[in-house]
Amino acid sequence: MFDPSDTPDLLIGLGDLDDAAVWRLDEDRALVVTTDFFTPVVDDAYDFGAIAAANSLSDVYAMGGKPFLALNVAAFPEDLPPEISGEIIRGGADKAKEAGVVIAGGHTIQDEEPKYGLLVLGFVDPKLTMTKGSVQVGDTLMLTKPLGFGVTTTALKQQKAAPEDVAEVVAWMSQLNNKTADLAREFKLRGVTDVTGFSLMGHGLEVAQASGVKLSMQFDKVPFVSCAHKYAEEWTFPGGAIDNRAHFGSQVDFRAKLTEAEQMLLFDPQTSGGLLVSVPSDKVKDLEVRAKEIDQPIWEIGEVIQGQGIEVVK
């Protein structure tokens, strides 16, 4: 572990629970640095590339930053047809272009299973950096994408998913979190994280721990993709959901009477999920109006209270 006193310009690093590293350049600018890559979650090569790029960019948005530069990180099998690898890279490039980000190069190695993602750089005002440790008691919890991506993409892998269900989750996973980041900056919000592999419960617990608070979430207000409950009942959860439940479950108090499948949906790992945003209560109505103006979906799912961990109510 690096000693923070040796690197005073490293504002957020290994010792923090946040989504990216932050390095101070001067009083008004800091560099946000992150990387992420993974194996295909969908069959279409172009969609996979776009989703992977959106997922990598999300960590910069979650810190309140604006991404500007990226590098490809890829691993492809030796016998992968070039038209497939080309479509993956093209999907990532198009998504980066949509975000106003330049892909300036990268690195590719050979591996048995395809993997793709980005290393991303962004700028943020160090005084306005959004973190998991900035949530306050009394805040309202809001979420910007529905849940259910993991259980649906696993149904796809098991050849159980309907094409329209796959199309729905691909559309959500491909969506950038840039509008939410703009919204958070406009309203000077500070408590933000993105919901990805550790699920809503796992990332929510990171927020609760970092901020010294308790999150109270209302299950009936949590948004899900239209097919999530169907596949949950068929138990097409990925292994990551089981791991999340085993690791985080003891810190979640299910005060609401939920089925096992409903509980598991809250531990479902998300790929390129939405942002979990903590909003002071006096800003909620104005933020909802502004979100509608910019066509950014957002759902109120709970509140921040005194205590530790997470409670789930109805």
Could you read off the pLDDT of 287-306 as tens digits, one per residue? Answer: 999 999 999 999 999 999 99
DSSP string, 202-232: HHHHHHHHHHT-EEEEEGGGS-B-TTHHHHH
Give the pLDDT of residue 19.
82
- pLDDT at residue 4 tops 90: no
At 120-129, the pLDDT tens digits run 999 999 999 9
What CATH architecture is 130-313? Alpha-Beta Complex (3.90)
Q: Predicted confidence band at 314 (pLDDT cuts at 50, 70, 90)? A: confident
Give the pLDDT of residue 2.
66
Task: Please give the mean pLDDT across all residues of the chain.
Answer: 96
The predicted model scores a pTM of: 0.96
Which of 309 and 18 is assigned the larger pLDDT?
Answer: 309
Which of 266 and 3 is assigned the larger pLDDT?
Answer: 266
SS3 237: coil
Q: Predicted confidence band at 154 (pLDDT cuts at 50, 70, 90)? A: very high
At 215-232, the pLDDT tens digits run 999 999 999 999 999 999
Half-sphere exposure of 151 (CA within 13 A, CB side): 28
d(CA 96, CA 47) in angstroms, rounded, equals: 13
Nearest to 189 by CA among 272, 123, 270, 275: 275
Q: Predicted confidence band at 14 (pLDDT cuts at 50, 70, 90)? A: confident
Listed by start position, the domains of the chain span 4-127, 130-313
Strand-strand pairing, 299-305 and 214-218: antiparallel
Q: Indicate the length of the chain as a whole number.
A: 314
SS3 104: strand
- Give the residue carrying structure tokens 């990268």: 106
What CATH architecture is 4-127? 2-Layer Sandwich (3.30)
d(CA 162, CA 145) in angstroms, rounded, equals: 21
Mean pLDDT, range 112-127, rounded to an integer: 97
Q: Predicted confidence band at 1 (pLDDT cuts at 50, 70, 90)? A: low
Q: Which residues contact 229 (CB under 8 A, 6 or more apart)?
A: 148, 261, 262, 265
Q: Predicted confidence band at 169 (pLDDT cuts at 50, 70, 90)? A: very high
- For 68, the token pair is 């500007």
Mean pLDDT, range 72-95, rounded to an integer: 97
